Amino acid sequence: MQHFLSLFDISPEDLKLILRTAGVVKQKLAAGDRPNILKNQVIALLFEKPSLRTRVSFEAGMAQLGGESLFLGSDVGWGKRESPSDFTNVLGQFVDAVVCRAKQHAQVELLASYDAMPIINGLTDLCHPCQALADVLTIEEAFGSYAGKHLVFVGDGNNVSQSLALICAMLDMRFTLACPEGYEMDADWLAKINASYPNAQIETLHDPAAAVKTADAIYTDVWTSMGQEAEVVARRQAFKAFQLNKTLLDAAPSTARVLHCLPAVRGEEITDEVIDGEQSDIVRQAGNRMHAQKGLLVWLLGRDWISKHVR
């Protein structure tokens, strides 16, 4: 049973194949071709957290592949009305895969432990692997290749930055986190990356201007994520020198691209001038959520098609 709880669940070769598949299905869509690769297959979207991009991109992507999706909110009683084993094993008889957007990573691990159907992590507190797929796809489109590129994340060492550090290690990219002291990535997560990929180029700096000096892409995210609302005042104070604004962008090469996983708090972690500027790839990045996830879905559920259409 193949799950996608984090990028640790796949090999670098699998990752590259998913990205190539995403590129192929994106090109086909642009040409008006929507092959029914996953005809008659159904995925369930099991969400504990609100969503725009994750929900709509998976629903639209599955429809474009000829399949269907079911959105499962709090009314299904996940974790409340019945045991996790009963819930998961019954659901596995109805659907071909589940996309889970959970507050805690342990929740997706529990779902996967029953091997009732493939589980895709749509976001947890630990990592956001689907977002990282879209991010690298965007970098590849911007530069023609992701190989050797330097990605700088300015902000919190959160679930998004942790997935980016891992995907960069898998693809021989360089990753820098620029954050205030005390907001670094999880030490155990970094140790696992370094154990799996000894040649990983990952660094943490506390000077954003120094961090972006050689950046190919500069990435930021909200300073206060869902569930951290009680920390908002402290975080604004801690991160005030880490805003992605024109001054910081000018410290980077003129070819650097700007990324943000959205939603953004405009005027806080990023200014309007930058998010709407000529160097911003944020809209395309958001659109690539669907294309990257289509590549993932085809890799999970339509391998025969890949063997015939993806080199």
Among residues 261, 281, 285, 293, the one annotated as catalytic is 261
Among residues 125, 221, 257, 260, the one annotated as catalytic is 221
Q: CA-to-CA distance for 15 and 184, rounded, in angstroms?
A: 26
Among residues 3, 53, 128, 257, the one annotated as catalytic is 128
Among residues 53, 235, 289, 291, the one annotated as catalytic is 289
In order of 34, 167, 292, the CA distances from 226 in angstroms are 35, 23, 24
206 tagged catalytic: no
Contact 279, 298 (CB under 8 A): no
Q: Is 266 helix (H, G, I), strand (E, B) or coil?
A: strand
Q: CA-to-CA distance for 28 and 35, rounded, in angstroms?
A: 8
Instruction: Give the closest residue to 239 by CA, choosing from 267, 279, 213.
Output: 267
- Residue 114 CB-density burial (10 A; 0-12 exposed, 13-18 middle, 19+ buried): middle
289 tagged catalytic: yes
291 tagged catalytic: no
Among residues 101, 174, 257, 291, the one annotated as catalytic is 101
Question: What ranges make up the beta strands (E) of 61-196?
Answer: 68-72, 97-101, 119-123, 150-154, 174-178
221 tagged catalytic: yes
Among residues 131, 243, 285, 293, the one annotated as catalytic is 131
Phi first, then psi, for residue 189 (nearest 5°) are -65, -45
34 tagged catalytic: no
285 tagged catalytic: no
Catalytic residues: 101, 128, 131, 221, 261, 289
